[in-house]
Structure 1
């Protein structure tokens, strides 16, 4: 990759100081890239926690009367008032109209009997067949009420992306700020990312099954099964909030803590996310452990990410575990190239674009693999629906696997060509 033809470093902060040869240092680049991400993580964390508080408040609130109930209540009020007035009027005219009232009642009774006979003939015939059973209707009020309120999906997505970008930059940052100093921060971010992944998995399961072409009966059973998983989603939602707030219960860990070192390690795992973000902010403000150029660090980081991809690119697409790991490696390559694009130039953008395509394709394949696993182990799912789901998911997986193989053949050579360093004759004279 060729560097930018011009770079004008900023000197407004400690982290943006240039190196002695006028090039931006790795520490300056990392600090400038990480600080906005830290702000994004803080902002999205607050949004996620706020959405959970709103959900819990909504769940605890008494149910509001429906429009029909309110209309009925208003109708009853008006009816009572009208009845009182009518009763007063009847006292004056009751004797004159008694005979007419009896005749009107007899006529109304005959009309009502005729309407009832007509309704019975309709409901016993074609009309009854048109109404599907409520248990298989996806939009029924009963099934809709079982769905768990979800956290703000945009906030969760933004938090996951910011955590991934931050973790991606922390890997090469080990050379600058020290592996041991960054390790607790990396572990905390990894735990929080995994907690949010559980929420994404449930969302992906719904989306994957919604895309399948299923028989009507299997679709109804699959919809009910997804809705019955609402309790699991509530549990995962609570776990995410505990992770972010640092209130994950310790359990019986206190009984086994015999040394102060172990106590500190256990305690560190349950610290709020903000504590680790603050520690990273302080680390960015300190001088780097090794003085490296930003371009040298960037080139090495992208090449190492590519090496990880190539080591697994020959795996069989039928291997679900390998494809999942390959997706993670492409994601890391994508974010690494994108983060260092200001240093490495347009070629890094091309790498990020190609890696994103493969990551997305492999992501769809992973969603199907996860759905297959959950359906296969779903003993509470109707056997006929489980068989139909398994058949449809297997066919979908075979289709996606073919696309993955084609995309790898197309995009991977492009990535390799963009990352491969130029020869001595082609190397730019101002490379760091």
Structure 2
């Protein structure tokens, strides 16, 4: 199978997953439908990211980004509701469940989602045409170079103690998923992957508590939880800093440098 064939095959698999998750969301069959849709969407964007400047992929990448922006607040609401239930604040969770249902309906009927689905459906043919026109020459090498540059940006961020931890969380997240999209081209050492995942998890937990504290400043019924969220967030950030140091050691020792 050629490199381009493998990319098209991956996109087709992800398309099936996206349609399946969307159907589950529309039918309200389970609580994981939106989460699964967003995971498939993230994998798609990770696959496209090294190629997003190509004419053949610009429209699909932009359409996928639009769906991501549309669904992020809804997923955040799902996570907050789960946290409130876990903490035993069922009244606060119940009030937000009614809002969640209306947000699901917006996604279900969204022109943004429908446009994305149409662009996704037509993308394999567009990619094949770009290949025939010679627009994808040396695509494997171009992707490999972009992955190496992405890793270099991450290494530089890890080496800077003042680098914003919110931005660093996104760099780590993108590096992990692009590694999974292109395992044979990824410059990440295999033994660094557990450290990469540990950093993503730790910074993700911290980020959740940070966002919930901001919510508590805006929504009075959450104020009762703000103190415990702040304490948990501080602890998680300290744990994340340890994991960041471990990851930096792996990448500083073994990662190649792109000039």
TM-score category, normalised to shorter length: 0.7 to 0.9
Q: Map of 1:104-253 to 2, 5 A cutoff? A: 152-174=30-52, 178=54, 180-209=55-84, 222-243=89-110, 246=111
Higher helix proportion, which one?
2
Partner of 2:125: 282
- Rg larger for: 1
Task: Work out whether residues 172 and 200 of structure 2, in 8 Å CA contact, stay in contact via their aligned partners in 1.
Answer: yes
Q: Does 1:305 align with 2:150?
A: yes
Partner of 1:125: none
Q: Does 1:372 align with 2:213?
A: yes
Q: Please provide the CA RMSD for this pair.
A: 2.8
| 1:378–1:307 distance in 2 versus 1, CA, 3 Å | same
Query: 1: CA distance between counterparts of 2:7 and 2:199?
Result: 26
Partner of 2:204: 363
Q: Tell which has more relative contact order, 1 or 2 (C-alpha 8 A, sep 6+).
A: 1
Partner of 1:88: none
The match for 2:23 among 42, 46, 50 is 46
1:160 deviates by: 0.9
Partner of 1:144: none
| 1:343–1:33 distance in 2 versus 1, CA, 3 Å | farther
| 1:348–1:199 distance in 2 versus 1, CA, 3 Å | farther
Partner of 2:7: 30
1:416 deviates by: 4.0
| 1:28–1:353 distance in 2 versus 1, CA, 3 Å | farther
Between 1:31-40 and 1:186-195, the stretch displaced more is 31-40
Query: 2: CA distance between counterparts of 1:40 and 1:352?
Result: 25
Q: Provide TM-score, normalisation by structure 2.
A: 0.84
Partner of 2:171: 329
| 1:292–1:351 distance in 2 versus 1, CA, 3 Å | farther
Deviations 1:164-184 (A, max 9, x none): 111112121246xx2x44222
Task: Work out whether residues 327 and 363 of structure 1, in 8 Å CA contact, stay in contact via their aligned partners in 2.
Answer: yes
1:227 deviates by: 1.7
The match for 1:412 among 248, 254, 259 is 248
Q: Give 4+ residue runs of structure 1 displaced > 6 Å after superposition.
A: none
Partner of 2:138: 292
Query: 2: CA distance between counterparts of 1:190 and 1:270?
Result: 11
Task: Work out whether residues 301 and 336 of structure 1, in 8 Å CA contact, stay in contact via their aligned partners in 2.
Answer: no
1:421 deviates by: 5.8
Task: Work out whether residues 298 and 344 of structure 1, in 8 Å CA contact, stay in contact via their aligned partners in 2.
Answer: no
Task: Work out whether residues 40 and 162 of structure 1, in 8 Å CA contact, stay in contact via their aligned partners in 2.
Answer: yes
Q: Provide TM-score, normalisation by structure 1.
A: 0.53
Task: Work out whether residues 47 and 182 of structure 2, in 8 Å CA contact, stay in contact via their aligned partners in 1.
Answer: no
Partner of 2:183: 341
1:348 deviates by: 5.0
Query: 2: CA distance between counterparts of 1:224 and 1:47?
Result: 27
